[in-house]
Structure 1
C-alpha cells in the first residue's frame, strides 16, 4: 500500500465511516476566523444557490451557529447534503481569495456542514414559518433534490404541496446514488424529515409517472405541476454479452451499498473494472475497493484531463488503491454465464475526434461496473417538448404544457449537481408563484 493510502479493514462496515471528519465548535470558530469577509465575495458567485458565504462564516466566528444555519438554509434547504457531496473544490473554495494569499481556501464545505448539522440534527423547531395559505395546490413529481427543494419553497410561500415519488424513500440520488462514506448515519433521511417540518407537504411513495400517476391527470387536479424526474435510465455500452452476470450498472451497485444493513454481506468482486470518468465511476471504484476487491481498474476512453470527476475525486481513487487507465474503450465482453474478461481498444484523438488505434488488451474480471452516464425516461412525457434528451423550459422553468414546470437533472440548466438541482427547485417555486399566481416572493423573503 502506497504512502497516504486508505487502510482497508476486514470489517467492511469500518471502511465506510465519514469521509470528512466534521469540525468541532472550536475548530469551526478558528477556521471561520480565516475568512476575510470580502465585500465582493467571489465565493457567493461560485455557489449555484447563492448562499451568502461570508455572512454565515462571520456568524460562526461570532458563535451565532443557529444564525449561520438559517443564512445557509434560506438559500439552500439541502445545505447539509451539499456540504457533504458538493464539489466545493471547484466551486466556492476554488474562488476563495485565501487561495491567493495563503495558498489554502477557507474550509467552506466543512463550515457549512458544521452550522447546518447543528440545526438539522437538533430538536429545534423548523427555522422558517409558512406564509398564509394561498389555496393553491402544487404537484411535485420526484423526491430528489430538485423536487424536495421546490416542495419546501412552495410550502413556505403558502401553497399545499403533494410530492409523488416512485421509490420507497424520498431523497433521490441523495438517498440512493451518493457514496456511503459521503452520507453516513442515515443523514439523507434526517434531512428529508427536517425539510418536511415546514408543514404543508404530503409525501406519496411508489407513485411512478406513467404508471400509478399520469401527467394529464395531475394537470387537471393541481394548479401547477413541477417535474423533477431526474435521469433514471443508465446508458449502456452497446456490446454483445452485456447481459452477462457480473456486468452491472454502477448506480445500482451504489444503491445496494447505500441500502445494505450490513456491508459484510456484500460482494463487490475480486477483479473489478469500472468504465467511466465521472464522479459516479469514482464512487463505484472506491467503494468496490473498500468492500475488499483485490484489483480495481477504472478505465476511461479519453485522457484524465477530460474526466468529469474532479481532481480531488481522482486522487481519492488513487489513495484507495484504484488503478486508472485512460485512453481505452471497451469493445468486447467475454464469458459463458458470467463475465470473465473484457477487451479494450486503445484510443487517441485525431483532429479532435476520438478514434481507436487498433491495438487491444484484455483484463480478467469477475465484475464490470458501467458508469457512462444516465438518460431520462421519456415514456410518460407525451406532449412535452424535448431537446437532446432533456425537457425544454423557458426562463421561468415553464415547459410547453400549461402550468407544467421542470427542473433538476431532467433539464439543461448546467452541471448535473445536487446544488444546481436545489437551486432549480427553489427558482421554479418562485417562478410559478410569480407567473401563475401573481405572488411577489420578495415580499415574503
Structure 2
C-alpha cells in the first residue's frame, strides 16, 4: 500500500489537543479576513465602476441589488443611501458582503474583470455601506399598522429572517421558531469565524428584527415541539426555512472511531467558542469533501495549530464546489488539496483514528470509478464534509422532491397556506444570498395572498 502522507510517516498518533498556539497567534489567525474599507479606500474603489447601463453584475446577483446605484451613492459620499439601496433588495446585505462568493457572482460578471484588470470590489463596497448603516443604528423601514394577520416562520436562518422582515414591512406579525439556542442559522453556526468576526451574525439579527412585529422562539424544533398541522391551525400562513440538519455519512469501516468528526459541527463549535484556545484540534488532519464546508474546516484547522491538513476530494479541481478563490485561500494557509482520491476505510489504533486508506479514482465512460490503487494518509483526526441532508419531520403530507420540499416559482408548497425556501427546498444554489432571495420572494407571495384575503391554490401536485 502506498503512503500518501506529506510529512514523516512515524505512525504515531499525536492526539487531539487544545491550546496549541499562543493567545497572540489565535488573535492574529482569526482576525477579519477582509477588514472594512475606510472612506478613502471606498471612494477609490467606487471610482473604478463604469456604472454600466445593462449592469451584468446586477443580473448575476441572486437578490438583484442595484449595484451601479449603490456604488454611485458611495462615490458621491452617501453611504447611508447606498445601504438603503442594498437593504431594499437584501436585508442581510451585511453578511452577504462578507460570505458571498462574489468571485463567481457579481464580480465575475464585472466588465472590468479581464486578464489585464481586476473587477470592482463590489463585496467590500457593500460591506462599507451596510456596516455604516448598522453601526449608526439607521433603520430605513417603518412597520405600518398591524394587519391582524400572523405568520409562522420555521427557522431563523437567512431565508427565515429575510421573510420575517419583509412580512413585517407589510404589517403582518411574525413568530419565528428555531431549534437552536441562538438565531441566525447558517450565519451564526456555519460560517468560518474569520469571515464574520465580532459576533456580527447576532448583531445582524438584532438589526433585522428591530423593525418590530417579529418574535423569535428558540429551542423549538419542528417534529419535536410542534408539527406543521399545529402551525397551519394557529397561523394565517407558514414559511418553512429550517435548512439542513442531517450530515451525510461515509458508509465505510472505521467511521465510528474517536477522532472522526462532522466538519459542520467543528465549524459550529469554533464559532461559538469564546476562547479559541479551548477548541481541540489534531496534528494531522484529513478533510473529506470539495465544498465550502471542507475549505472552511481545513483552513480553520490550520489556524488552530494543526501541523498538516489535507483535503481529499474524489474528483478533479474543476469539479469542486468551492470556488477557485477559496481553494487558493486554503493553499495559501498551508492546506494541501489532493484530487481524485476517495475514502476507502479509516484506520484506527486503540479506538482512535490513526490514518485513512484512500483509493485513486478516475472518470471512465462518464462515470466516476475506483482504479483499485490505494494509499494511506496518517492522521489523528478525520473531518467529514461530504454534504448535508434534509431531515423531514412533522411535515405531514407535504410533497417532497429528491429529498427536499417541492415548491413552485413563488415558494408555495403542496399544502395550502404553506411556503418554503432556503436549503430545505430543491431549487437554487446553497448560498446565503440565494436563501435571502427565496425568503424575500416567498414573503411577497404570502403578502399577496393575505392582502387579498384568499387561499392560494395548491401549487405542487
TM range, smaller chain: over 0.9
- Counterpart-to-counterpart distance in 2, 1:421 and 1:320: 29
Separation of aligned partners in 2, 1:29 and 1:121 = 19
Q: What is the match of residue 264 of structure 2?
A: 251
Q: Which residue does 1:376 correspond to in 2?
A: 390
The count of corresponding residues between Structure 1 and Structure 2 is 432
| Alpha-carbon displacement from aligned partner over 1:423-444 (angstroms, at most 9, x marks no partner) | 00000000011134329xxxxx
Alignment deviations for residues 171-213 of structure 1 (CA, whole Å, 9 cap, x no partner): 0010000000001000000100000111000010000001112
Aligned with 2:113: secondary structure?
A: helix
How many angstroms apart in 1 are the aligned matches of 2:165 and 2:427?
Answer: 20
Instruction: Decide which of 120, 124, 133 is 1:110's aligned counterpart.
Output: 124
Residue deviations 1:32-58 (CA, integer Å, cap 9, x gap): 111111111101100000000000000
Aligned residue number for residue 294 of structure 2: 281
Partner of 1:310: 323
Secondary structure of residue in 1 paired with 2:347: strand
**Distance (whole Å) between structure 1 residues aligned to residue 449 and residue 231 of structure 2:** 19
Secondary structure at the aligned position of 2:188 is classed as helix
Give the CA deviation at 1:122: 1.8
- Where does residue 178 of structure 1 map in the other structure? 191
Is the counterpart of residue 230 in structure 1 residue 243 in structure 2? yes
Shift of 1:8: 10
TM-fit CA distance, 1:379: 2.4
Q: Conserved in 2, the CA contact under 8 Å of 1:8 and 1:292?
A: no
Q: How far apart in 2 are the matches of 1:382 and 1:240?
A: 35
Equivalent residue, structure 1, for 2:312: 299
SS of residue matched to 1:74: helix
Alignment pair present for 1:394 and 2:408: yes
Deviations 1:282-332 (A, max 9, x none): 000000001000100000000011000000000000000001110010010
Deviates further, 390-399 or 106-115 = 390-399
Hey, what does 2:67 align to over in structure 1?
53
Q: CA deviation at 1:132?
A: 2.8
Q: TM-score, normalised by structure 2?
A: 0.92
Comparing 225-234 with 98-107, which one deviates more in the overlay? Answer: 98-107
Cα pair 2:241 2:423 within 8 Å, conserved = yes
RMSD of aligned C-alpha atoms? Answer: 1.4
* Residue 366 of structure 2 corresponds to residue 348 of structure 1: no
Deviation at 1:133, TM superposition (A): 1.8
Match of 2:141 in 1: 128
**Partner Cα distance (1:261, 1:395) in 2:** 41
Q: Distance in 2 between matches of 1:142 and 1:436?
A: 21
Mapping 1:426-437, distance limit 5 Å? 426-437=440-451
Q: Is the 8 A contact 1:13 1:264 kept in 2?
A: no
Alpha-carbon distance, 1:222 to partner: 0.1
TM value normalised by structure 1: 0.95
List 4+ stretches of structure 1 deviating above 4 A.
7-10
Distance verdict in 2 for CA 1:99–1:8, change over 3 Å: farther
Call closer, same or farther: CA 1:109–1:101 in 2, change over 3 Å. same
